[in-house]
Amino acid sequence: MGERELFVVHPVGVVRSTLRATADAPNQAFEGAPDALLEIAPAYTDALHRVETGDELIVLTWLHLGDREVLQTHPRGDESIPLTGVFRTRSPDRPNPIGVHRVTVTGLEGATTVRVEALEAIDGTPIIDLKIAL
């Protein structure tokens, strides 16, 4: 790869959760993550057209507190597990800290708020995109 290309990603919303710190967040949603709200910016209201209760979505987040210098980690923070390249883990510490979360929509509140179950992202995490899960 030659020169680095510039990519500009604009958040489309933010996660609202009872999780306030990374230490409080489970590694995976099924490990006890709370329900959360996806607050979508008003400019993207039309992008929510036909999102419905029961839909399964992929939420892409920017793990803004991740350490972008980390290239290897002990999975799950367990030092008995050998160091592993972050591309083989779900660590939030990585060169481009993009989070991938599969969620189920449990309700819609107004034109820009989506209620979801079991999301392991902390409060204030930027949302960079939503996609229907296939």
Closest alpha carbon to 130 in 69, 45, 73, 70: 45
β pairing state of 72-73 and 84-85: antiparallel
Q: Average the pLDDT over 35-40 and give the result.
A: 98
Mean pLDDT of all residues belonging to the chain: 93
Residue 1 pLDDT greater than 70, yes or no: no
pLDDT for residue 70 is more than 80: yes
pLDDT band at residue 2, thresholds of 50, 70 and 90? low
Q: Is the pLDDT of residue 133 over 70?
A: yes
pLDDT of residue 32: 83
pLDDT for position 24: 85
How far apart CA 56 and CA 106 sit, in angstroms, is 10
pLDDT-based confidence at residue 77 (cuts at 50, 70, 90): confident
